[in-house]
């Protein structure tokens, strides 16, 4: 980055109206990283002949080797429109669904996104997923239709047919967005050719067009096709000079995507639930550089020299090198070592960073993804909720016992760098479990532990995590504390389907409920829980809720946190096979508490609550649920019989089947337990021409004939005996 560019960035950082924070997102292999390369080349940060081939933002060796983006990466660049400089903070995100957590976290940091769509393939399952992730965070999209050169060279479309194809893609995007766009943006965020919020072009050949640019430069569709007609003279290369991709696309970004000041006015009420009229509330809403600092971390990178570097968004205030700041989640103060802006793998050090920018901060020991950083305690930002949760698990252990402490340290670092990976370290059994989004996700992490962290490990075959639930209302069940002085009476029942869906969609956030959380009560009211009932909810954990149904119990407030803790422990390890719970409503009907606080401490309350919750579940006909995935399979039409046979052999349901030309597109629902190695099976059946993509994920009740078999196999895998399911204080 040239000296004058660093100066430009320093200058523009303080002019929020001239800043755009954007992400590039799309289905896998639709050309995001090639597209990013061209934007960097246009900003003078990459040579033009390397653009599209260097993959500058895929700086891990495994990303280059696999040809896919695994980690999101940030870069700041300067772009001039009508003689006015703008600062564009860009995040390139992964397209493979296994790395979708990175997309969700990136969306918290940006205000707008460019959704890429392959002109030949059209809108795909992951295109819908990234749009869903963007709109959930109130991030405004524009559309870039990529690989237009394929339409001309391979599909040989006429100008009219090309326009028809574009309109079909644009129609699909708008139709999908219409279903899920937040109500306040309905109708306003549609993408359209006429206003230039849709661009099209070829990232590989470094050109792009939009209607207003075509009018300005007097270019027609026919002119574009003519540049590709003569194969030998490389005439198409002139398009990159006639309509450079970065000029067209970044022009559209500046025209259509909001600056931080505009965006924060409508984004903040949805992602921060503090008092909007307080001084810090006003500073955050108005993106005020002089207000209380508020920084949200969206990614942590472990730098060998600087330690943990937190990348994220400054929503308000200014943070300087050496300043003392407060971590609201970790509840502690730390000192900032360095502040910087991003240029892919490199960081450019700054003296201070201000509101409205995507920045890096080092020295924040104990920070995690989603953490809110300020100078004094403030209401933290809403937790970042992911669309899909981990469903595949592997047990991981060090090859040499001497490496065990190092492995545990490395696993802790891994969860910091990628919060979509959940690590469970079981001190009792010595088993380390690694939960991920899919086989590829776990394979990449395993390889990085070996190659980048230098620990030799071995892993088990993939395991599926099941869920425990109930099918009817339990009788009131008593749990006694070991000293017999405290009693809890609890009922468990299946949770209303509407609430289950709202928690799954992230409308209702998980976590312990704060007193008078008006925003939560409103959200609950919309899904049929009146405010009066909503006020009794104390905790939402793993898609289950805890309700306080007691009346007039004097000391309940003093033990409420312990009741929450006991409830959470059972929701993480249920009574059937110590698997997590799902879709249950647990109500504390009554309690008898000892007068003296010393006799109702954690050692008394926790076993009693656990025993009551487990007892209630056991009497409500407990069952196992298994993770299911709805997938789309694309294959040649001659393999139709093979594909439907494959689905039925794997206990799957065929949901729909369509034929597009000589391809068939199937939608099917399959149990995750049957899906290991599925991509290899599809490829071998279709001679490498078939593929599958994840659309959605859910849990369904295991077939009755498999219930006992699965429970027994999980118990034996975990080495559990019947006495492991007895609580202290539980009657024999």
pLDDT tens-digit readout, 32-66: 778 877 777 665 554 444 444 444 333 344 434 44
pLDDT in tens, 150-180: 888 887 888 888 888 999 999 999 999 998 8
Q: Is the pLDDT of residue 126 over 60?
A: yes
Domain ranges of the chain: 3-258, 262-374, 392-465, 468-620, 625-701
Gap between the Cα atoms of 314 and 424, Å rounded: 32
Dihedral over Cα of 149, 151, 154, 160: its sign: negative
State whether CATH 3.30.70.870 applies to domain 392-465. yes
Confidence band, pLDDT 50/70/90 cuts, at residue 231? low
Distances (CA, A) of 477 to 38, 473, 548: 64, 11, 15
The yes-or-no answer to whether 392-465 and 625-701 have a common fold is yes
Q: How far apart are CA 582 and CA 500, in angstroms?
A: 9
CA atoms of 730 and 480, how far apart (whole Å): 7
- Distance of CA 28 to CAs 67, 143, 184, 417, 475, Å? 10, 16, 30, 22, 50
Contact 266, 276 (CB under 8 A): no
The candidate with the shortest Cα–Cα distance to 599, out of 483, 490, 521, 705, is 483
pLDDT digits (tens, 9 = 90+) for 697-709: 889 999 999 999 9
123 and 94 Cβ atoms separated by less than 8 Å: no
Is 317 a residue whose pLDDT tops 90? Answer: yes
363 — alpha (psi -120 to 50), left (phi > 0) or beta? Answer: left
Range name among 243-247, 363-367, 429-433, 589-593 with the lowest pLDDT average: 429-433
Residue bearing tokens 């532990």: 449
pLDDT (average), residues 15-25? 90
Rounded to whole angstroms, how far apart are CA atoms 722 and 712? 11
Query: Left, alpha or beta for 351 (phi > 0: left; psi -120 to 50: alpha)?
Result: alpha
Burial 347-360 (b: 16+ CB within 10 A, else e): beebebbbbbbbbb
Helical H runs in 181-259? Answer: 211-217, 221-229, 237-242, 245-256
φ/ψ (deg, to 5) at 343? -140, 70
Confidence of residue 730 (pLDDT cuts 50, 70, 90): very low
At 429, is the pLDDT very low, low, confident or very high (cuts 50, 70, 90)?
low
Strand partners, 20: 88
Do the beta carbons of residue 634 and residue 706 sit within 8 Å?
Answer: no
* pLDDT computed for residue 80 by the predictor: 82
Burial pattern 435-465, b for ≥16 Cβ within 10 A else e, equals bbbbbbbbbbbbebbeeebebebebeebbbb
Judge whether residue 97 has pLDDT over 60.
no
Q: Nearest to residue 560, comparing CAs of 548, 571, 545? A: 548
Specify the pLDDT at position 1.
Answer: 42
Q: How many CB atoms lie within 10 A of CB 301?
A: 18
Can you give 371-426 as a three-state secondary structure string?
A: CEEECCCCCCECCCCCCCCCCEEEEEEECCHHHHHHHHHHHHHHHHHCCCCEEEEC
| Burial track 384-401 (b if 16+ CB lie within 10 A, e otherwise) | bbbbbbbbbbbbbebeee
625-701 under CATH 3.20.20.70, yes or no: no
pLDDT of residue 514: 83
Mean pLDDT (whole number) for 631-659: 89
Is residue 215 pLDDT above 70, yes or no?
A: yes
CA distances from 242 to 199, 214, 338 (A): 15, 10, 42
Domain 3-258 falls in which CATH fold?
Rossmann fold (3.40.50)
Give the whole-number percent of the chain exceeding pLDDT 90.
34
| CA atoms of 620 and 475, how far apart (whole Å) | 8
Q: What is the pLDDT of residue 59?
A: 37
d(CA 198, CA 221): 15
Mean pLDDT of the chain: 84
Tally of CA atoms within 13 A in the half-sphere of 393 that contains its CB: 19
Block residue for tokens 């300067």: 78
- Note the Cα 533 to chain centre separation in Å: 31
pLDDT of residue 356 exceeding 80: yes
- Measured N-to-C along each axis, helices 518-526 and 497-504 cross at an angle, to the nearest 10 degrees, of 130
pLDDT score for 732: 35
Say if residues 1 and 348 touch (Cβ distance below 8 Å): yes
Please provide residue 392's backbone torsions phi and psi, each rounded to the nearest 5 degrees.
Answer: -120, 140
Instruction: Write out pLDDT tens, residues 443-483.
Output: 878 887 887 667 888 888 888 889 999 999 999 999 999 99
Interacting residues of 146 by C-beta distance below 8 A, sequence separation 6+: 26, 30, 31, 35, 116, 117, 118, 119, 200, 201, 202, 203
In whole angstroms, give the CA distance from residue 444 to residue 455: 14
CA distance 42 to 48: 8
- Domain 468-620 coded CATH 3.30.1490.150: no
Query: Which has more pLDDT, 197 or 7?
Result: 197
pLDDT tens for each residue of 470-481: 999 999 999 999
Distance CA 612, CA 618 (A): 10
Query: Would you say residue 679 has pLDDT above 60?
Result: yes
Query: In terms of Cα–Cα distance, which of 139, 82, 81 is closest to 257?
Result: 139
Tell me which of 282-286, 371-375, 525-529, 616-620 is least confident: 525-529
Structure confidence at residue 452 (pLDDT): 66
Rounded to the nearest 10 degrees, the angle between the axes of helix 602-618 and helix 556-572 is: 50
Q: Which CATH architecture has domain 262-374?
A: Beta Barrel (2.40)
Q: Which of 529, 538, 528, 593 is nearest to 567 (CA)?
A: 538
532-583 residue pLDDT tens: 999 999 999 988 999 999 988 888 888 999 999 999 999 999 999 999 999 9
């Amino acid at each position: 980055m040239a000296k004058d560019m660093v100066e430009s960035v320093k200058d523009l950082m303080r002019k929020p109206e001239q800043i755009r924070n954007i992400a590039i997102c799309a289905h896998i292999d639709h050309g995001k990283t090639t597209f990013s390369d061209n934007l960097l080349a246009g900003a003078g940060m990459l040579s033009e002949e390397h653009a599209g081939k260097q993959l500058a933002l895929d700086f891990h060796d495994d990303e280059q080797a696999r040809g896919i983006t695994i980690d999101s990466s940030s870069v700041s660049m300067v772009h001039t429109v009508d003689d006015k400089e703008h600062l564009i903070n860009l995040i390139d995100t992964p397209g493979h669904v296994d790395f979708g957590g990175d997309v969700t976290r990136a969306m918290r940091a940006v205000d707008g996104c460019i959704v890429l769509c392959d002109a030949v393939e059209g809108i795909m399952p992951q295109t819908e997923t990234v749009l869903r992730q963007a709109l959930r965070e109130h991030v405004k999209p524009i559309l870039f239709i990529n690989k237009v050169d394929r339409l001309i060279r391979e599909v040989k479309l006429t100008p009219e047919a090309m326009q028809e194809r574009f309109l079909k893609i644009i129609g699909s995007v708008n139709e999908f967005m219409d279903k899920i766009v937040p109500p306040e943006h309905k109708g306003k965020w549609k993408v359209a050719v006429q206003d230039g919020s849709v661009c099209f072009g070829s990232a590989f050949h470094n050109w792009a067009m939009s209607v207003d640019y075509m009018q300005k430069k007097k270019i027609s569709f026919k002119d574009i096709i003519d540049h590709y007609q003569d194969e030998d003279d490389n005439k198409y290369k002139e398009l990159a000079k006639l309509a450079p991709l970065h000029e067209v696309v970044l022009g559209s970004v500046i025209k259509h995507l909001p600056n931080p000041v505009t965006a924060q006015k409508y984004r903040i009420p949805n992602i921060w639930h503090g008092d909007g009229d307080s001084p810090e509330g006003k500073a955050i809403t108005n993106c005020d550089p002089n207000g209380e600092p508020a920084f949200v971390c969206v990614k942590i990178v472990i730098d060998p020299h600087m330690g943990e570097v937190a990348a994220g968004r400054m929503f308000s205030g200014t943070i300087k090198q050496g300043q003392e700041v407060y971590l609201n989640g970790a509840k502690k103060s730390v000192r900032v070592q360095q502040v910087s802006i991003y240029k892919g793998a490199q960081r450019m050090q700054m003296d201070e960073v201000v509101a409205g920018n995507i920045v890096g901060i080092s020295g924040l020991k104990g920070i995690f993804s989603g953490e809110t950083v300020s100078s004094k305690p403030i209401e933290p930002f809403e937790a970042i909720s992911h669309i899909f949760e981990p469903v595949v698990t592997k047990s991981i252990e060090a090859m040499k016992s001497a490496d065990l402490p190092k492995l545990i340290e490395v696993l802790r670092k891994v969860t910091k760098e990628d919060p979509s990976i959940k690590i469970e370290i079981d001190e009792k059994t010595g088993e380390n479990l690694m939960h991920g989004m899919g086989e590829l996700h776990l394979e990449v992490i395993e390889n990085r532990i070996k190659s980048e962290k230098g620990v030799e490990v071995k892993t088990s075959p993939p395991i599926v995590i099941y869920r425990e639930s109930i099918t009817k209302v339990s009788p009131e069940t008593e749990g006694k504390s070991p000293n017999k002085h405290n009693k809890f009476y609890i009922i468990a029942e299946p949770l209303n389907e509407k609430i289950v869906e709202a928690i799954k969609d992230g409308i209702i956030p998980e976590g312990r409920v704060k007193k008078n959380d008006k925003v939560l009560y409103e959200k609950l009211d919309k899904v049929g829980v009146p405010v009066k009932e909503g006020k009794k909810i104390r905790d939402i954990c793993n898609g289950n809720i805890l309700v306080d149904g007691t009346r007039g119990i004097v000391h309940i407030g003093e033990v409420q946190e312990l009741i929450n803790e006991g409830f959470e422990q059972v929701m993480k390890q249920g009574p059937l096979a110590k698997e997590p719970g799902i879709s249950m409503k647990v109500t504390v009907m009554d309690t008898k508490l000892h007068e003296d606080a010393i006799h109702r401490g954690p050692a008394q309350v926790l076993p009693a609550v656990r025993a009551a919750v487990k007892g209630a579940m056991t009497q409500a006909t407990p069952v196992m649920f298994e993770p299911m995935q709805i997938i789309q399979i694309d294959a040649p039409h001659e393999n139709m019989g093979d594909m439907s046979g494959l689905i039925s052999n794997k206990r799957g349901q065929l949901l729909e089947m369509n034929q597009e030309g000589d391809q068939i597109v199937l939608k099917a629902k399959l149990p995750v337990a049957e899906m290991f190695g599925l991509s290899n099976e599809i490829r071998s059946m279709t001679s490498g021409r078939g593929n599958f993509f994840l659309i959605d994920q859910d849990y369904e009740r295991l077939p009755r004939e498999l219930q006992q078999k699965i429970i027994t196999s999980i118990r034996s895998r975990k080495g559990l005996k019947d006495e492991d399911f007895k609580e202290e204080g539980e009657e024999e």
